[in-house]
Amino acid sequence: MDETEAVESLSALQIVALGGLGEIGMNMMAYQHGDDILIVDCGLMFPSPDMLGIDYVIPDISWLRERAENVRAICLTHGHEDHIGALPFVLQELNVPVYGTALTLGLVSAKLEEYKLDGAVELVTVKPRDSVTIGCFQVEFLRVAHSIVDGCALAITSPEGVVIHTGDFKIDHTPVDGQLTDLASLSRYGEAGVLALLSDSTNVEREGYTLSEKYVGEAFGDIFPKCSGRIIVAAFSSSIHRVQQVADVAANCGRKILLNGRSMVKNVQIARDLGYLTINDEQLMDLRELPHLPPEQVCIISTGSQGEPMSALTRIAMDDHKQIKLEKGDTVILSSRVIPGNERTISELINHLYRRGAEVFHERVSEVHVSGHASQEELKLMLNTVRPRFFIPIHGEYRHLFKHIQLARKVGIPEERCILATNGEVVSFYSDTAAIVEHIESGRVFVDGKGVGDVGRIVLRDRKHLSEDGMIVVIIGLNMTTGAVIYGPDIVSRGFVFEDESQEYLEEARKVVAFALEEINAEMRCDCDEVKTAVRQALRRFCKKTIERRPVILPLIMEM
């Protein structure tokens, strides 16, 4: 980097994508100008089926860790896990203030308490249209409609110009809480001049407009009066508007509400305490009341809409829930979208619910769910309202980002002003120009239990290998002075063949190992590494030749 480039780098606005570009989830963006870094969102991603044993996936913050003294704050757009879920892990390394609206910080506070970080982090509550100064940045929070209460876009004013970061949004003209997307403020910024727009790309492939949340309430209003048995509505615990509509329709039908699932109970309590949910105490029931109420007076709001293995709804569907048993005539409503990758799991869940005698409604057969993300016409409206000089699509897989740029070009943004960035790329704005200038270290960190980052691709590969082909343990006792075989070889297998029915095969494998040991001289048998290598090679050849499998082979050498 020459002297001119160094000066430009110091005075330029740089946007660094740490997560959320080229993937759904793990949203995290850093804005840097001079010595000031502002982080927007800090989300996690749930593991795909091939990430065996992994609980969460969070962004790699190596780049931030090296600049920790320059990080001024984290601003949150809303309270979904893909925007706040990584905070307990990141805040252990970056102790900075966190700004967000009341419900967003209510959910964050509960999460920090769970990780014993409550009181250690400064949480700053803001309201829509509040403006805060963070280093050289001025940040105004602007109301946007979404599938969770209190969502905001951010208008970030830097020395280089204004950037609008939409977060997740849609243009809902009839929102349940009456809080509209703040198009007036967005237009105000558009009139004054916006350097760049970073806009949600999740629903860019959907034509037209996203339906209003009120359609879901109307669907509930059609379904509930026709149900003679108990009603179970499964939804995300953060969908406060959805819970409110269920409660309202249930009250009109004379049904009491039972909250089922730890996160549902917790989030509803937070929303009630903050005044975002209006459910009377009399309408809420305790699990102990359930056996004493007639089915037509019961409505259960539950977690588990994605068919998660240990969720409340899955246990009910498998007839494994101690207190809640499905009966013929009960109705189950899956009021959430199918997250990509969960299709088979949810299909199996629906099959089990039908086996229990329930009637099932889901988004493919009824309007019991609407998206919280903008479709094409709303995305065009955002582009035309803000009228940015440069456009960067965010929140989506590569195809979503690509399609969003095509959409932006249709509304008049020139191709050279559309920037398709991916995680790790640094977009630099300087003197009315913009370009991707470098690629920094980024990626994914796996969280497995209490371990953060100690499981990598090699461990996942081994887990996949074990899950597909099983394992063989070879136990050998060796005299380390003479190299004589004192014990074994003994063979134990797991997930490879059923030992009780495969004794003949395992005996053949044992003979192969014994022969391999005979083939190496006594001096080499005194070297454990040499013995392990010989055993692995012999068994691999045998298994491949006989049954075409590749089990994980673990020689266990006992030195005697």
Q: Which residues are catalytic?
A: 200, 373
d(CA 202, CA 208): 14
On whether the CB atoms of residues 16 and 67 are closer than 8 A, the answer is no
Output the CA angle 37-42-43, nearest 5 degrees. Answer: 155
Coil, strand, or helix at residue 102? Answer: helix
**Within its chain, how far is the Cα of 216 from the centroid?**
24
d(CA 509, CA 331): 55
d(CA 390, CA 13): 13
Q: Work out the burial of residue 288: count CB atoms within 10 Å of its CB; fewer than 13 is exposed, 13-18 middle, 19 or more buried.
A: exposed
Kindly state the tokens that stand for 77. 């757009």
Q: Work out the burial of residue 452: count CB atoms within 10 Å of its CB; fewer than 13 is exposed, 13-18 middle, 19 or more buried.
A: middle
CA contacts within 13 A on the Cβ side of 552: 15
Is the bond leading into 489 cis (omega within 30 degrees of zero)?
yes
Coil, strand, or helix at residue 394? Answer: strand
Residues with Cβ < 8 Å from 259, sequence gap 6 or more? 265, 268, 284, 300, 301
Region of residue 412 (left: phi > 0; alpha: psi -120 to 50; beta: else): left
On whether the CB atoms of residues 73 and 134 are closer than 8 A, the answer is yes
d(CA 70, CA 304): 41
